Structure 1
Amino acid sequence: MRPRSLALASALAVLPLTVVSLGVTAAQAAPSPNAATSRVALPNTVTPAVARSQKQAALPAAQQISVAVSLKLRNTADLDRFLKAVSTRGTAEFGHYLTPAQFNARFGPTQADVNQVRTYLAAQGLTVGSVSANRQVVNAHGTAAQLAKAFGAHESTYVDPLHSRTFFANETAATIPTQLASVVQGITGLTNYTVRTTRIAKPNTVVPHATPSGFGPSQYDGAYDLNKVGTDGTGVKVALWEFDGYTASNLTTYDSQFGLSGPAVSTVSVDGANYNSAPGQGQGEVELDSEIVRGVAPKATQLVYEAPNTDQGELDMAAQIVSDNQVSVVSISWGSCEPDTTAASMTAVNNSFKQAAAQGISIFSASGDDGSRDCTRSTSGANVKAVDFPASSPYNTGVGGTNLSVNGTSYSSESAWSTAGGGVSTQFAKPSWQTGTGVTGTMRTVPDVSSNADPQSGFAIYTQGTSAPGWQVYGGTSAAAPLWSGYAALYNQKAAAAGKANLGEANPKLYSIANSASYNSTFHDVTSGANQDFSTKAGYDQVTGWGTPVADSLANALLNSGGTQTGNTVTVTAPANQNGTVGTAASLQVTGSDSDTTQSLTYSATGLPAGLSISSTGLITGTPTTAASGTVTVTATDGTGATGSASFSWTVAAAPAGCTPAQLLADPGFESGAPGAWSATSGVFDNGTSEPAHSGNWKAYLDGYGSAHTDTLSQTVSIPAGCNASFSFWLHVDTAETGGSANDTLTVAANGTTLKSFSNLDANTGYTQQTVDLSAYAGQTVTLKFTGTEDDSMQTSFVIDDTALNVS
């Protein structure tokens, strides 16, 4: 994919690409998949570059390759219905977005689907790696020979004559066993032909300037009335979608120059990528994105997601952003032309974009810098009409480009940028909301909106130059996409203050407004200029979309049609995936919250292992009776009927032979009311109400005096040989200490060896369950001891309840 930023205000020379030798020295001699096993082909898993490249030789059989297996979504008809309803005014679901857990429970692949794929991959000799949190991506790696066995994908090296570069790829479609066909969406990573490269020469070919030229924030904020929205992005998080890194000092220099302040930009690594120590040729792209968002919404928090520049990296980044669910806006300035991109890869990434829409996340993507011939600088060439992905995704707002003229800090006029991306998708059908465009046909058109992008009316950006950082002038639709992303941050802050939902999937709302009587007051309709194949016209066109924002008027129109959050929002906190053993007691407290704090929640669950049950308060208890693995979904319901859900896996293993499952501690909940089996200092056994028990009436209460004090609690028990052993307890820490020092401590020890330690810094509002593996003590007598030590300042209370030492 290519960043859309680097259209510079001066002519730049294109840097040649060199051939990379893969050192093909040994022929691949991989077995074909078992012919006796019924298999199906996965369509669109061959990179289009193969058809235009020269085959060289088989890839060495031992060559290591990393792949990502994408899994299909479930209940897709209901998902499509929900996505339409959640963005359509007047429906019951309008503006009521899902959490990741709710999306996974209703539409995501199941844990059983993941397990089926993992089992197959491992059986073919592949090493199975990470699984995305939304269960849509299973990563694995192995040799070319093992991939051939798994997917019938015989890998060869090719030379792309247009770019004089060598790559590897599969020549025919990948295949999978028939029994996986209902689960597997596609395979990504069978080729290392990447089209995510910069479109033109890099910014370090231009000598930077000591002072800024080009548009600064006051000019573009004033021209588009962004400064009249009345917000600054406070409380809103924006993700920047990147395949390179940045230098933090360049960003702070930009802020200082224009008097901006806001939260520091932070990096989120995807698949281990973190380019910031040595940014590459895409550094200017990352810094452009960040600086434009800062200029529009200075107080918004920016999370820079950095991924490897591969199909797999892109897929994993999309899955991680929606699973993290930290942001309400995503800005994308990298893309690839559709004909040069594997359709299976686009479909897999688009599934995460669907999840983003369901969760209320807006995505703005640059439409490209090669006009209606987006493949001009790639394999398919300039003769092909093409649009850019991911701007072509129906769940992205594609942002085109203009040339903006200003009068001081006020809007003067605008025309189309002659190389702004636009046209008709060959991958995605026209969505139901894309009306009023005057474009016939059944496929999606791009762009949807636009803003300034012509480098002749470019932006002042502080970034790395030939040998040092300095001021440069950048254009490109990758300047337009972050401008709209910053606008969405302004809107989301304004909507929250008005009790409205996030903007979410923007296009259905934008098209509704554009097709209404308020169009001319909410958009600057750009009616002059053209790209290679399309001209501007009144209303929508395939160069500038509906036009550029009149930000304050558009925000007001959106607020009038925005989803009001009239219903309660219930959120269940997803527990970690659970493991247990047949015959070993289990206890897990599930918690949730309600937007209406006066409501109480009632819990239920599906998929619990046999022998377990859940109370109305969310406590799962019992003793598993059957070895199995499955997905548990816990739902919380409040008094108004509002619900929230969370899902997690629970695996129960068979009990080891020769060990009788049992719980060994005497008086595990302290309900005897006095030391007996336990040895304890005075006052530790407690039934007072100042610190309530986790269950029952009694608990162990260590310290809490606010003076120098030490309390102890211990019990000695014998662990049978040949058993697995697990010690657990529920702990609540309450403190009056302030500051960041661990003044008061609690240690948990076995035969004098510290197993866990806690302090006043671990204070929480309720109990948390702690677990320690004691299997190493099998066949021994062990003394378990809690020691609470308090200094002579403020109090810290360590409250312990519902202990257990389970063997199995």
Structure 2
Amino acid sequence: MSRLSRTVCAAIGAAALVTAASAGTALAAPAGPHALPGSVPSWAVAKNRAASTDANQQVTFRVYLNYRGGDAAAAYATAVSTPGSANYRKFLTPAQFRAQFSPAQADVDSVSSWLKSQGFTVGATPANRKYVEATGTLAQAAKAFDTSFAEYRTDGKTVRGNTTALKVPANLTAVEGVVGLDESQTLAHQDKVTPGPALFRNAQPMSDYWGQKTVQNTPTPDGTALPSTPSAFAPKGYAGAQLQGLYGMGGAIGSGNDGRGVTVGIIDAYASPTILQDANTYSAAHGLPSLNGHFRQVVAPGTYNRPENPKQDPQGWAGEETLDVEAVHTMAPGADITYIGAPNNYRDMDAIMNRVVDGHLADIVTNSYGYGGEALPNGTIKPSLDTQIQAAAEGMTLFFSSGDDADETGGVAGASPTPDWPASSPYVTAVGGTSAGVSQSNSRVFEVGWETGKSTLDKATTTWSAPAFLYGSGGGTSRLFAQPSYQAGVVPDAISKTYGGAAMRTVPDVAALGDPNTGMLVGETQTFPDGSQHYSEYRIGGTSLASPLYAGMFALAQQKAGHAFGLANPVLYRARTASIDITKADLGAYPGDVRSDYVNGVDATGGYVYSARWFDRDESLTIHVRPGYDDVTGVGVPQGQAWLAAVSGS
């Protein structure tokens, strides 16, 4: 997984974002071309510069415009999602939203005319008039925006960035940012550890349920002796009734409260050609109904499936896509699923979200991708924030994975902690992760925060090495967004004011199963060593498992309520007493599990490697599980019928 630099998060201050948010009604045009606030990527600094760019390189970008009325759209989105508000649940249609808040056609025309005058080919403008797309060379872009471009090395990748702030003519006061000239979006990652398109298999011993196979009752296949603690071998991955039972949803689903009548959207990059086939094979194997008639796939036109472009990774996202579909279907087997594939994983995630929202393609949307921190140009953050505001105003609920790298410090002393974006947005529900045990009767044995420490086996002494942080639920305190009202009085000052000063937005809001070592069993078509392709199953996890699981359960709540919720957080925080508070209470009895892996990831011919995966090892992190709200699991996980009743009754 990719991360942004951990030391540059403060480069985008709250003031810059607030300035951009209120720029829709400028009092007076500046005398000359004006710079767009926060338009220089924080990693675009001299020490990271790697090379010059090809001035003749073609680039497609989008010039985004502010909503009319300044913060009026944001205020409306908050009001319609907040119980007790006079406008509660008075959601707008896309057409109504456009009429009230979309940029004026005159502003779109002015931007289009200027772009054409600079030699660009002007492309699409969506129905909500949020941006104008254009294509040209980097040389044209450098001249038009009064800047230059270079290649920078950051977080193991070489990406393009502008060297100075982007400037636009004085009369274009509605412009809020530009997406696509710099390659910040290249740094998006899938929020989970995923196998590649080639075959991946988990090794035995594995338990069908928690505690079935232990070090004491099951020998290792190669005779390796293991320490007595932890004693349980990792489960092979939970599926079907096990996951429904973990959160007490089996009874509701069995009685018809299964999500029917609700559409859950899934946004990823690309689209696996075997998604539906794989999901149906998986469903038949694990007691779920077929998805036939309840699944549609929307793939955006564009540079889809172009492997010659090194920034493309269509096969690498196939596991993500399959996981998301199968996870939603497991928790909401009666819901309709719309899968929306962006044409690439490096340029168009913002545009595809705008398309989903402005077309109202789903009631609930789960997103299992993000950026490793908030260190993104304002021109990247603000347009996405605006799309989230439109979603809330229309009654659409957005879930985002909170990330898989905890506080983004990796446990390194002195590194700057940060939550991930877009999880840190106050207009989305950020879903953190847990580690969990499911019994033979499909009930919860334990559930703790997902922060994994890994130890390897010293065969000579039969001892585990000292645990080192491996991965875990993303969380922390935003440096960009003030505390939203739904977190006031719930999030302790020790978390919301961790930087001093005013209370800030904290992440996550809620949680569900995420730990890959106690994760979900998924099935997809994989490429075997002989080149053949067959369906195969393996265990997987991450907060990109937690997000679709939670989205599926929320579909049950929406069906039960009989109406949409828009931004879910006000309701979820009010219903927190019907959630299970995740603490460290279970760690004494369930400190971790033992994982066996094939050295070659396929079979035993290369031998085995053993590791201990210790649960909730957060000693080196700034985020911790604690009673009440915490920045690893939020207000907790759903508690069956009580949670459904509390949410649907709000």
TM-score range, shorter chain: 0.7 to 0.9
Instruction: Check the 8 A contact 1:530/1:543 in 2, yes or no.
Output: no
CA deviation string 1:83-117 (max 9, x = no partner) = 23212223331111100111111111111121111
Instruction: Check the 8 A contact 1:68/1:140 in 2, yes or no.
Output: yes
Aligned-pair CA distance for 1:508: 0.8
Give the one of 316, 320, 323 matched to 1:285: 320
Q: Residues of 1 paired with 2:53 and 2:2: CA distance?
A: 27
1:236 aligns with 2:236: no
Aligned-pair CA distance for 1:52: 7.0
- Any stretches of 5+ residues in structure 2 without a counterpart? 4-29, 209-235, 308-312, 452-471, 498-502, 585-615
1:141 aligns with 2:169: no
CA deviation string 1:558-595 (max 9, x = no partner) = 2322xxxxxxxxxxxxxxxxxxxxxxxxxxxxxxxxxx
Aligned-pair CA distance for 1:276: 12
Q: Which residue of the partner structure matches residue 787 of structure 1?
A: none
CA deviation string 1:674-707 (max 9, x = no partner) = xxxxxxxxxxxxxxxxxxxxxxxxxxxxxxxxxx
Instruction: Check the 8 A contact 1:297/1:486 in 2, yes or no.
Output: yes
Q: Which residue of the partner structure matches residue 623 of structure 1?
A: none
Aligned-pair CA distance for 1:549: 0.4
Q: Which residue of the partner structure matches residue 434 of structure 2?
A: 402
| Cα gap change, 1:351 to 1:382, in 2 (>3 Å) | farther
Q: Residues of 1 paired with 2:319 and 2:37: CA distance?
A: 37
Q: Residues of 1 paired with 2:486 and 2:52: CA distance?
A: 47
Q: Which residue of the partner structure matches residue 200 of structure 2?
A: 207
Letter in 2 for 1:536: V
CA deviation string 1:625-679 (max 9, x = no partner) = xxxxxxxxxxxxxxxxxxxxxxxxxxxxxxxxxxxxxxxxxxxxxxxxxxxxxxx
Q: Which has the higher contact order (CA 8 A, sep 6+)?
A: 2
Q: Residues of 1 paired with 2:362 and 2:583: CA distance?
A: 35
Aligned-pair CA distance for 1:45: 1.6
| Cα gap change, 1:490 to 1:147, in 2 (>3 Å) | same
Aligned-pair CA distance for 1:292: 0.3
| Cα gap change, 1:471 to 1:357, in 2 (>3 Å) | same
1:411 aligns with 2:473: no
Aligned-pair CA distance for 1:70: 0.8
Letter in 1 for 2:338: L
Q: Residues of 2 paired with 1:508 and 1:128: CA distance?
A: 41
Instruction: Check the 8 A contact 1:195/1:340 in 2, yes or no.
Output: no
SS in 2 for 1:60: coil
Q: Residues of 1 paired with 2:283 and 2:413: CA distance?
A: 40
| Cα gap change, 1:510 to 1:56, in 2 (>3 Å) | closer
Q: How many residues align?
A: 513
Q: Which residue of the partner structure matches residue 425 of structure 1?
A: 478
Q: Which residue of the partner structure matches residue 533 of structure 1?
A: 622
| Cα gap change, 1:537 to 1:43, in 2 (>3 Å) | same
Instruction: Check the 8 A contact 2:259/2:333 in 1, yes or no.
Output: yes
Instruction: Check the 8 A contact 2:374/2:420 in 1, yes or no.
Output: no
Instruction: Check the 8 A contact 1:157/1:168 in 2, yes or no.
Output: yes
Taking the TM superposition and a 5 Å limit, the aligned residue runs for 1:148-227 are 148-160=142-154, 162-163=155-156, 165-181=157-173, 183-193=174-184, 194-198=186-190, 200=193, 202-204=195-197, 207-208=200-201, 213-227=236-250
Instruction: Check the 8 A contact 1:332/1:365 in 2, yes or no.
Output: yes
Instruction: Check the 8 A contact 2:83/2:570 in 1, yes or no.
Output: no
Aligned-pair CA distance for 1:281: 0.8
Higher helix share: 2
Taking the TM superposition and a 5 Å limit, the aligned residue runs for 1:423-462 are 423-435=476-488, 436-439=490-493, 440-441=496-497, 442-462=503-523
Letter in 2 for 1:222: G
Q: Which residue of the partner structure matches residue 580 of structure 2?
A: 524
SS in 1 for 2:39: coil
Q: Which residue of the partner structure matches residue 20 of structure 1?
A: none
CA deviation string 1:484-517 (max 9, x = no partner) = 1111211222222xxxx21221001111222xxx
Aligned-pair CA distance for 1:57: 4.4
Instruction: Check the 8 A contact 1:46/1:342 in 2, yes or no.
Output: yes
| Cα gap change, 1:238 to 1:474, in 2 (>3 Å) | same
Give the one of 529, 554, 572 matched to 1:510: 572
Q: Residues of 2 paired with 1:486 and 1:411: CA distance?
A: 18
CA deviation string 1:444-481 (max 9, x = no partner) = 10000001111121100002445244110001111000
| Cα gap change, 1:537 to 1:54, in 2 (>3 Å) | closer
Q: Which residue of the partner structure matches residue 643 of structure 2?
A: 554
CA deviation string 1:531-552 (max 9, x = no partner) = 4212211110001101100132
Q: Residues of 2 paired with 1:134 and 1:363: CA distance?
A: 19
Letter in 2 for 1:215: Y
Instruction: Check the 8 A contact 1:373/1:382 in 2, yes or no.
Output: no
Q: Which residue of the partner structure matches residue 724 of structure 1?
A: none
1:477 aligns with 2:543: yes
Q: Residues of 2 paired with 1:37 and 1:141: CA distance?
A: 28
| Cα gap change, 1:91 to 1:340, in 2 (>3 Å) | closer
Instruction: Check the 8 A contact 1:186/1:345 in 2, yes or no.
Output: yes
Instruction: Check the 8 A contact 2:350/2:384 in 1, yes or no.
Output: yes
CA deviation string 1:376-420 (max 9, x = no partner) = 59xx99922011111111111100111112222112221111111
Instruction: Check the 8 A contact 2:364/2:551 in 1, yes or no.
Output: yes
| Cα gap change, 1:308 to 1:152, in 2 (>3 Å) | farther
Q: Which residue of the partner structure matches residue 112 of structure 1?
A: 106
Higher strand share: 1
| Cα gap change, 1:179 to 1:131, in 2 (>3 Å) | same
Q: Which residue of the partner structure matches residue 253 of structure 1?
A: 281
CA deviation string 1:593-637 (max 9, x = no partner) = xxxxxxxxxxxxxxxxxxxxxxxxxxxxxxxxxxxxxxxxxxxxx
| Cα gap change, 1:344 to 1:451, in 2 (>3 Å) | same
Q: Which residue of the partner structure matches residue 543 of structure 1?
A: 632
Instruction: Check the 8 A contact 2:187/2:346 in 1, yes or no.
Output: no
Letter in 2 for 1:409: N
Q: Which residue of the partner structure matches residue 386 of structure 1?
A: 418
SS in 2 for 1:325: coil
- Any stretches of 5+ residues in structure 1 without a counterpart? 4-35, 562-808
Larger Rg: 1
CA deviation string 1:46-80 (max 9, x = no partner) = 22222275434442332211111111011233323
1:266 aligns with 2:332: no
Aligned-pair CA distance for 1:301: 1.6
Aligned-pair CA distance for 1:324: 1.0
CA deviation string 1:732-774 (max 9, x = no partner) = xxxxxxxxxxxxxxxxxxxxxxxxxxxxxxxxxxxxxxxxxxx
| Cα gap change, 1:314 to 1:368, in 2 (>3 Å) | same
Q: Residues of 1 paired with 2:84 and 2:91: CA distance?
A: 15
Aligned-pair CA distance for 1:2: 6.1
CA deviation string 1:135-169 (max 9, x = no partner) = 11211010112112221131223344x51x43322
TM-score of the aligned structures, taking structure 2 as reference length: 0.74
| Cα gap change, 1:63 to 1:350, in 2 (>3 Å) | same
| Cα gap change, 1:238 to 1:336, in 2 (>3 Å) | same
| Cα gap change, 1:233 to 1:560, in 2 (>3 Å) | closer
Root-mean-square deviation (CA, aligned residues, Å) is: 2.6
Letter in 2 for 1:295: T
SS in 2 for 1:131: coil
Q: Residues of 2 paired with 1:254 and 1:115: CA distance?
A: 50
SS in 1 for 2:572: helix
Q: Residues of 2 paired with 1:178 and 1:400: CA distance?
A: 43
SS in 2 for 1:157: strand
